[in-house]
Each structure stands twice: as C-alpha cells, then as structure tokens.
C-alpha cells in the first residue's frame, strides 16, 4: 500500500517518520537534504510573472473597434489618403496611452505590496539544531517551533505542548485552534486536522516539533495557489459588450462600403471617387472617439473609487461592479472585525449585555433595558478580575498599537479596560506566584496570586470542565454549594449561549493556603462569559443597501455553522433560523442535478467550505446568469477571487495572495466601500450608455449623409477628413463630458440590470436611427439650400453642411437627458463638463475655419452672414423637434397617470 503524505494525519507520528526515513532526534543528514532538494525543489510557491510595460501597452490594442480603426487607416494609406491615415493612427495611439498609464499605475501598486521578507526556521540536521532559510526545507526535516513562529511548510506534529495555531488565513476560523500529536482515525476537513501544521499559519501559544510532509507547491497553501492559476479568469461584461458592438460595426461597415462603392461603380462613377467615398463611409461608421471616451470614463471612475479607498486593478472591472447581482463574501475580517470581544456575562440570575457604546465610543453595560454597573454585581466583578489575572496577553496603550497574545485573552483585558480596570493594577495588588498553563486535556488554565497571606487561584476554561471542577457558586451574598440541579442549570445556560453563537468561557476562583494545592478542585464558579468576533459596524447598513439595490449577499465561510448563522443574523443577511449548508454536505458541482443546483442557489449561508467548494458556489450562480463578486482576505479566498466576475480583497487584513489575485482591493477593508464601488459602477455604465448612444447617433447621421450623396449625382457634402475631425472634436468632447456625469443619486434604489443586456438595446437603436435621420435631413437640407437656392460655390456649400452637422451634434448632447426629466432641470444641464465641452468645441470649430492650415486641410472656408444664419437655423431643427416630441410624450404620460 502506497503511503500518502497528504494524508499523514491518518498515520501515527512513528509511521510518518519511518516513511520519511528520518530520526526525530538527529534530523536529516546533509547528503539526504541535497538529494531531496533536487527531487522536490525549493520550498517556495510559484510567483506570478511580473507584467512588463510592453505587455500592458499591447493589451490596450485588444479591441475590435481599435482593430477596425487600424484597418481603416491601412486602407487610407493604400489610396494615399495620408492625412486621414495619420489622424486615425493618432487616435489609436492616444487611446492606448491613456489605458496604459492608468493600468500600469495600478499594476505597479499591487507589485509594491508583495512581501519580500526572508523567513528562517529552526531544524534538526546532523544531530544539531540550526537556523536555516525556510526555502531550503525538504520533506523529512524536523522543525522546532515556538509561540510567534510562522509555519513554513506542511508538517505532521511529533510533539505538541499546549499548542495553539492561528489558521484564519487558510481556513477562515477566527479563533486559534488547539493542536496535538495524536492520530486522527478518519478523513476530515482541513480545519479539523488537529495533528497537522500548515504553511502560512502562525503559532500563537505553546511549542511543537514537527516533521515536514510537504513543501512549496505540495503544501495546502501551494494547492490553493495552483487553484488560483487554474481558475478561469472571467472576461468582464463591458469587454464582451464592446466587442459585440465592434463585431456589429464591422458588418455594418463592410455591407455599407461594398453596397455604396459597388453601386456607384456599376452606375459609371469614377472608381477612385467611389473608393474614397467607401473610406469616408468606413470612417463615418466607426465611432473613433468610443475607445478614448470609454477608457477615460473608466479611468475617472477608477480614480473616484481610489478616493473612496477602492484600488482597481483593471479598468474594465469598474463597470462590471455596476452589474453585480450577487456578492459572495467571507465572514472573518470581511463581515466581522477579526477580533474577539466580550458581548455578554451571565449567571443563573443575572445577565449583562456588553455590546453597546455611547456617542463618545465609551462602553455601556445593560441589564435588560437599563444601564448597569457590572462591578457592583459580585459574581461579575470576580469574573472580570479572574479574566485579568488568568491572562498572558498584553493590551497596547491605545488602538494605534497592536495588542499581543491570544484573541480571547485580549478580549478579557479589553473588558477590564472598558470597566476602568487595568491588568497591571490588579497584578500589582495580587502578584503572580505560579501558573498552570492551558492544557488541551483539561481545557483550563490557572494562575496563582499572592492575596495578603493567602493564595488566590484564578481559573478560566471550557464551561463543562470548569463546572466539573467547581463545588460552590458565587452569589450576591457570599456563596452557596453547587448541587446537581445547579450544575444542570449552568450546563443548560452554557448550551443556550453556544447555540446563540457565542464562544463561552467559564470563570472560577478560590482562595487557598499555599501553592501546592490542586488548582482544579473545589473551585467557586462565578460567571459564564460569551465572546464573539463582532460584525463590522457599517456592514448591516451596507447589506441593507445591497438588498434595496436587488443585490444578494451570500456568506461563504470556513467557520462553524452556528457562528456563521449568528453573524449573518446580526448583519441582516439572513433570518435567525436560516438554513446553513455545510461543506461536508456539498457534492462536486458536476454531480449535482438541476433541481439540486436550483435549491443551492437559494442558500444564503455556506459554512465549513474548502477552496474548491467556493469555486463551485461561484460557478453555481454564474451558470444562472448572475454577475458574481467575491470578497475575502485569506489565502483560502484567492481561487474564488480569481474565478468571480469581480474579486474584492481586503488591503489591511488581506494576504499577499488575495491582494494580487483580486480585481479590486479595499484599502480600508470596509464592506461599505464595496457598495460605494457598485454605485459608481452603475453610474459609469449609464454614462457609457449615454455617450455610446450619442456617438452612434452622430455617426449614423454622417453615414446617411454620405450614402445619400453617393446614390445621387451630387457633390459629397462631407469629406473623409471632415468626418474624422467631427468624430474627434465635436463628438468626443461632449461624449467625454457625458462620461464624467455624477449620475442619478437614487441609482441604488433599482435592481441590477440584466447581465446579458446590451449597451445599446432595441429602443436605443430606434432612437439612434431617428436622431441620425433628423441630423442627416437637416444637413442635406442646408447643403441643398446653400448649393441650389443660395447658389454658393461648392466649397462654401460643403462648409455649410460641415458646420451644420457640427453644431447640430453639439446641441444633440442636451437630448441625452434622462427620461422624465425637464428641459432645464436635468443631469445634463447640471453637468459642468458638458458646458465646458460645448464651449471648447465652438472655439475649435471657429479655429478650424479661421486658421489657414486647418481650413486648407479640411477644405472649408469662412462663411458669410447668410451662411451663418443658415448653419445655426438648420442645426437647431433636430434639437427642437426632439424636445417637442419629448414634451408631448411626457405630457401624454402625465395625463394617462391622472386618468
């Protein structure tokens, strides 16, 4: 039978060292180490390759619209239209540079977060204890560990003395877990392998000796790292939609150019003229400003989010946040503060609530609905003092510095501080003279203190063992014997508190004559203390906002079901009796029936899940068409962060792996920042939709003008370079202003849009075509009047059509107001960027007809007074028609509502 080191927890320590051919007292020999280094490699994870600047730069050209622009430029070069080709290439380069400088800043910021610290460890080799670099560990190395050490490889415990390990980054368990070297009889989940130590975790208490069973990518941490690499990275919806738009534009452009050029040539028109016309159509069909405006709008959104403490890694991820319909969130450090706090103290007759604070942040203690002073209740006073005495943690002077020690003990010290008692003062009155360290067998800890001529024994531990060791109980007046009925009642109280999601500690004490007395007998029970890792203060409000916005929040955690349900209920994520699905009850995704998948999609809490199951849960919702955001901070979250449509990592508490994998990093770790980012994402999508509709309606008008002129025997009203000028000047600046709008303040009162909804829907296309026809009719009418009625020269008539379209497109930006808004009070009129864009475009148009170099390249001339009157009059016609139509439509709706 083959020995599997990954299941070393199922074997005795003797069997493991025998398989690894190592003597625990001597360690490996140097020759064996060299051979195993060659076989297994260095003890390090594969690092993501550093993104080169060139790679980031070339990534900016992976857009169908950019490719289409490049084809148009190449076609212009082929027919010696040098100015057109140069202008198009400048547009492409400008767009790429904007995206490049924005994205490389984010990429380099993330690379700067990498932890480059060199970690050492103590091993036995050649019969001696020596300190070596952790990267040189090999399977079979015997490692010596103490409190404060970081575990640098996966190990099977050989010896463990009062050992506790913080595995929160790997399993999601917020409280240090006890470890021992005993064999485990059956296969179990990672979080319950009590005789194993895992790479990346930390020793919080005790000491241990372990033999290395896995290094590098063969560790549990390495397995998660491999899942991150294997997890398929989802393309963002915006990338998909813009590519779809690009595909559509390619076909529209090809069909138009072939029809127009072919028809003209068949009708006997000059071949070069028709090819030039085809180029003009191609230029008109492509919204050259779209990539630039989309990039700048996303970059601005990225900067807005950075100011709100959200660092975005990819531009397109900004918009995807707005489509988010489900947030799969970890519990520890995301919904909770990742620190234990005392929330209740209870006896059979009294109960103190320790959760509240006043406006100044000072703790308020309540008994029922009334404020109370716990120190005036003898049992609670003694329990608090016991928590301060029986304690090895250290509380920093203020919150700016880090507390040290076990989280449970830190919570007890904080309780004392909130009540105005410092540990140092208590120890000064009752100096410690002895300690019975916490033992996994007894599940208790005791400290002995000088109290005048007596010895005070302070004990804390698991309620069931402390209760068993107690013979009396503290009362308001002295104490009384703890009889069988009392013990049953205390046991039931403990069970009730555990069901409420508390981690329960029992506090007891006694006074003896000397230090030789057994500390764990004839104790006086004082109180039960309930601790939790509390929800973050702003989470409940943020989840409520998500629910109002039609966004589901699903908890996916490695913690216990009871704890998960308690936190979910506290933040408003689920009902008190909510069903919790455990990881052990989840089968592989591909094995689930359609009905089982439908049922699982309705679950709000998943507990005790492993990294692969997190991937399955995300896939479960993605297959139903949901846009899934995944939040987390631990190593165990990294594969899911990559698989999700949007991965959101915590910047303060987050591990390096999580931060580098995520699409967004929260610099303040606040769940509320996610909600603000989603709001910005929605605003950005609406802004993108507005400027896409604006750009396309302007381009449709140009297509119609050129197409109509090519079918009749008339001069071209617009030339290719003029169209390009319009697309890059009078189109791009108003479109950019639309992209920078502040958006609707009530946007989070609406559900997320359908994930499959196109940027331009059928109603939008109808509006685009209608506006395009109006603009084209106005331009062709102005051109005809100038050429045939006013008998202008062809150059002057072309100038009239060019400026009529330019100004008509400028006025058209005010048609982009939201439905239901008034002409003078709407988001467009309130947008200062729109007014700035209109003013800038007017100046650029005046410069184009005034500066000889520009007017010569564009083949236009300065209009006279008659021409100006015609230009301004005809350019206002589409705007007036659309506004009248909207007013009539709104009045009709209001009348219908009143009826």
Cβ 279 vs Cβ 272: under 8 Å: no
Q: CA 465, CA 468: separation in Å to the nearest integer?
A: 5
Phi and psi for 155 in degrees, rounded to 5? -140, 145
Q: Read off the tokens for 422.
A: 């410092």
Alpha helix stretches (DSSP H) within 308-355: 317-322
| SS3 state of residue 226 | helix
Write the CB contacts of 417 (distance below 8 Å, at least 6 apart in sequence).
395
Distances (CA, A) of 297 to 300, 691, 741, 768: 5, 10, 9, 21
Work out the end-to-end distance of the chain between its first and last CA atoms, rounded to an integer number of angstroms: 84
| SS3 state of residue 553 | strand
Total Cβ atoms within 10 A of residue 861: 17
Q: CA 660, CA 640: separation in Å to the nearest integer?
A: 13
* Burial of 881 (C-beta count, 10 Å sphere; 0-12/13-18/19+): middle
Which has the closest alpha carbon to 312: 323, 328, 299? 299
Alpha carbon 583 to its chain centroid, in Å, reads 23
Q: What single string gives the DSSP state of each residue in 865-888?
A: HHHHHHHHHHHHHHHHHHHHHHHH
Q: CA 659, CA 47: separation in Å to the nearest integer?
A: 13
Q: Is 330 a catalytic residue?
A: yes
- State the pairing for strand pair 341-346/326-329: unpaired
Which among 330, 418, 633, 669 is annotated as catalytic? 330
Q: CA 496, CA 500: separation in Å to the nearest integer?
A: 6
3-state secondary structure 582-650: EHHHCCCHHHCCHHHHHHHHCCCEEECCCHHHHHHHHHHHHCCCCCEEEEECCHHHHHHHHHCCEEEEE
Partners of 632 in beta bridges: 649
Alpha carbon 710 to its chain centroid, in Å, reads 52
Give the dihedral of Cα atoms 346, 347, 350, 355; nearest 10 deg. -10
Phi and psi for 391 in degrees, rounded to 5? -160, 130
The Cα angle at residue 545 between residues 539 and 550, in degrees rounded to 5: 125
Q: CA 854, CA 754: separation in Å to the nearest integer?
A: 46
Total Cβ atoms within 10 A of residue 667: 14
Q: CA 353, CA 286: separation in Å to the nearest integer?
A: 66
Write the CB contacts of 268 (distance below 8 Å, at least 6 apart in sequence).
none
Cβ 90 vs Cβ 82: under 8 Å: no
3-state secondary structure 463-531: HHHHHHCEEEEECCCCEEECCHHHHHHHHHHHHHHHHCCCEEEEEEEEEECCCCCCCCCCEEEEEEEEE
| DSSP 8-state code for residue 3 | -
Q: CA 531, CA 413: separation in Å to the nearest integer?
A: 13
Cβ 415 vs Cβ 352: under 8 Å: no
Q: Read off the tokens for 184.
A: 């485990």
* Cα radius of gyration rounded to whole Å, the chain: 36
Which has the closest alpha carbon to 610: 203, 217, 187, 110? 187
Give the distance between the most distant pair of CA atoms in the chain. 121
Catalytic sites, residue numbers: 330
């Amino acid at each position: 039978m083959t020995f599997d080191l990954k299941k070393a927890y199922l074997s005795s320590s003797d069997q493991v060292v025998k398989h690894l051919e190592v003597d625990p007292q001597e360690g490996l020999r140097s020759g064996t180490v060299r051979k195993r280094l060659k076989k297994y490699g260095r003890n390090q994870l594969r690092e993501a390759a550093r993104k080169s600047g060139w790679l980031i730069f070339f990534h900016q050209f992976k857009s169908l619209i950019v490719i289409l622009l490049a084809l148009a430029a190449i076609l212009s070069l082929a027919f010696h239209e040098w100015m057109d080709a140069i202008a198009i290439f400048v547009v492409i380069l400008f767009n790429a540079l904007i995206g490049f400088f924005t994205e490389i800043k984010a990429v380099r910021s993330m690379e700067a977060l990498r932890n480059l610290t060199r970690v050492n460890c103590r091993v036995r080799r050649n019969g001696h204890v020596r300190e070596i670099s952790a990267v040189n560990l090999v399977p079979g190395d015997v490692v010596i560990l103490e409190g404060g050490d970081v575990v640098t490889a996966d190990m099977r415990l050989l010896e463990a003395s009062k050992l506790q390990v913080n595995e929160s980054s790997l399993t999601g368990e917020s409280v240090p877990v006890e470890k021992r070297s005993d064999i485990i009889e059956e296969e179990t989940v990672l979080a319950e392998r009590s005789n194993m130590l895992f790479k990346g975790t930390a020793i919080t208490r005790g000491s241990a000796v372990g033999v290395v069973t896995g290094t590098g990518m063969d560790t549990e941490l390495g397995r998660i790292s491999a899942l991150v690499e294997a997890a398929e990275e989802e393309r963002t919806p915006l990338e998909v939609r813009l590519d779809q738009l690009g595909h559509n534009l390619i076909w529209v452009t090809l069909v138009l150019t072939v029809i127009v050029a072919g028809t003209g040539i068949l009708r006997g028109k000059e071949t070069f003229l028709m090819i030039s016309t085809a180029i003009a159509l191609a230029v008109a069909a492509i919204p050259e400003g779209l990539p630039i405006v989309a990039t700048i709008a996303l970059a601005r959104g990225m900067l807005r989010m950075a100011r709100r403490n959200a660092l975005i890694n990819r531009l397109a991820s900004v918009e995807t946040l707005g489509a988010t319909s489900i947030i799969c969130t970890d519990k520890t450090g995301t919904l909770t503060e990742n620190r234990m706090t005392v929330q209740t103290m209870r006896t059979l007759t009294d109960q103190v609530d320790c959760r509240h604070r006043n406006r100044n942040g000072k703790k308020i203690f309540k008994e029922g609905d009334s404020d109370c002073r716990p120190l005036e209740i003898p049992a609670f006073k003694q329990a608090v003092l016991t928590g301060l005495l029986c304690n090895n943690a250290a509380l920093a002077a203020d919150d700016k510095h880090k507390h040290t020690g076990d989280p449970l003990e830190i919570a007890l010290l904080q309780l004392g501080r909130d009540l105005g008692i410092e540990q140092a003062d208590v120890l000064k009155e009752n100096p410690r003279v002895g300690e019975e360290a916490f033992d996994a067998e007894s599940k208790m800890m005791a400290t002995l203190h000088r109290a005048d001529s007596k010895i005070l024994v302070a004990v804390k531990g698991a309620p069931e063992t402390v209760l068993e060791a107690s013979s009396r109980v503290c009362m308001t007046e002295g104490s009384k014997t703890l009889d069988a009925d009392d013990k049953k009642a205390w046991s039931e109280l403990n069970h009730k508190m555990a069901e409420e999601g508390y981690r329960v500690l029992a506090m007891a004490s006694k006074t003896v004559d000397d230090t030789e007395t057994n500390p764990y007998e004839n104790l006086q029970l004082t109180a039960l203390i309930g601790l939790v890792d509390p929800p973050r203060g702003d989470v409940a409000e943020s989840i409520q906002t998500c629910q109002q916005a039609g966004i589901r929040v699903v908890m996916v955690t490695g913690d216990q079901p009871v704890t998960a349900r308690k936190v979910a209920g506290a933040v408003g994520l689920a009902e008190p009796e909510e069903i919790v699905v455990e990881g052990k009850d989840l089968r592989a995704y591909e094995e689930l029936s359609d009905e089982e998948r439908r049922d699982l999609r309705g679950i709000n809490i998943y507990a005790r899940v492993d990294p692969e199951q997190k991937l399955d849960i995300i896939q479960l919702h993605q297959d139903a068409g949901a846009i899934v955001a995944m939040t987390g901070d631990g190593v165990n979250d990294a594969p899911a962060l990559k698989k999700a449509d949007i991965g959101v990592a915590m910047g303060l508490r987050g591990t390096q792996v999580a931060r580098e994998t995520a699409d967004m990093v929260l610099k303040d770790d606040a769940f509320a920042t996610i909600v603000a980012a989603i709001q910005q994402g929605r605003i950005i999508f609406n802004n993108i939709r507005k400027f896409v509709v604006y750009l396309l309606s302007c381009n449709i008008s140009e297509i119609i003008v050129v197409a109509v002129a090519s079918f009749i025997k008339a001069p071209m009203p617009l030339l290719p370079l003029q169209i390009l000028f319009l697309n890059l000047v009078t189109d791009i600046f108003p479109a950019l202003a639309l992209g920078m709008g502040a958006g609707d303040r009530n946007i989070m009162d609406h559900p997320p849009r359908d994930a499959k909804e196109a940027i331009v829907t059928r109603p939008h296309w109808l509006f685009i075509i209608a506006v395009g026809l109006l603009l084209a009719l106005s331009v062709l009418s102005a051109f005809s009047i100038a050429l045939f009625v006013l008998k202008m020269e062809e150059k002057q008539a072309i100038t009239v059509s060019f400026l009529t379209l330019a100004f008509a497109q400028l006025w058209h930006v005010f048609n982009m107001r939201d439905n239901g808004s008034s002409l003078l009070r709407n988001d467009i009129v309130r947008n200062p960027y729109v007014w700035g864009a209109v003013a800038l475009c007017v100046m650029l148009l005046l410069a184009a007809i005034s500066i000889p170099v520009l007017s010569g390249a564009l083949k236009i001339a300065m209009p006279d007074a008659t021409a100006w009157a015609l230009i301004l009059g005809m350019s206002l016609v589409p705007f007036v028609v659309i506004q009248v139509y909207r007013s009539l439509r709104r009045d009709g709706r209001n009348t219908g509502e009143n009826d």
